[in-house]
Structure 1
């Protein structure tokens, strides 16, 4: 189980930034049970091999779901990120897409779709997005805004071990794969619509930026992602 000190570190890091405006009222309807269960599962002795498997385990813990329930909802007893992406964002009554960064909140889900060269990733959002520090690279387009998003996931690739945006799996510069909390960065246009992301807030190289669709010269290949919310919560 995540310690109170670790939770406090994440909350303090997010709270130290000043949000640009308040989130809309719909944010209060986020499925916070997912976030709570994610915190509870972190540190469990059973290693969860991926972000998608972590989301499945969190749903089972939060709602008491069986493999059958997961299959009814998402088309497989153990969906990968591509299957979650396809099923979350199909025309289904139990899920809604969050299309503006101001609406993102605790209990929402970030899903990066698989591509020809990437297997995708799934993370549970544990709080609202906050503006990343001004001038933090990589600068893709001066008109784009950058946001730090706190997450819980399972991964073998660290989200950065900086003090400002910590990954709980880092002790100094030593990273231990598995479940943990961290931060990812979302880029949006001026209206708040997501257009790309980086794996960590501290990544400065343009090659670490992944646009949703349009190729950016010098950047990584496009990796479509969306953010959504279970509605109702729980869906079954």
Structure 2
């Protein structure tokens, strides 16, 4: 289990560096239990990010954020990419990876294929990719939404994090309870799962969110409905219903 949190601000009224550092410190403390092995902070004035790591793969390396060779992209990932070795082999032998971490692979796929790279990932993950040149942020969640990812849309940017309490460390995070969600039966399956705080969202499983200075766009890259017809139920499954 790892975790990350942060915010992106595109407007002219950005917080000053001291205020950003203080917020990131509080965010990191709020999710310290998710990553006891390491804490890293990244802040370029537009993207402010803290990552807490629980080391599992590439114990001596694999610190996050991980940049690409050009330095125009960086990534953090909470979770595990199960097919990362197969995906690595899809690159030329001389392609440069900085680590042996599974977390690095999605960024290289994104660099090569764009947002469609998400469809090739098999795993449980919440990930972030930051394009420093385009000033564009991508957040994505695994197909079934196993790994958590909360977001708050702001007039000039976005808050995000692995846990709601990390977002609460930012002064612009909403705090009003969503009473309509609270009074609904808890046994109902709702997608996305409500956060019970008005203005705070779960990014749904199988979705990505892309944000830049001009727009915030959220789309599905995978839907279970598209795969039900081809699922291997067959005659055995139909027969089992008569037992």
Q: TM-score, normalised by structure 1?
A: 0.29
Structure with higher RCO (Cα < 8 A, 6+ apart): 1
Q: Normalising by structure 2, what TM-score? A: 0.28
Q: Which has the larger radius of gyration?
A: 2
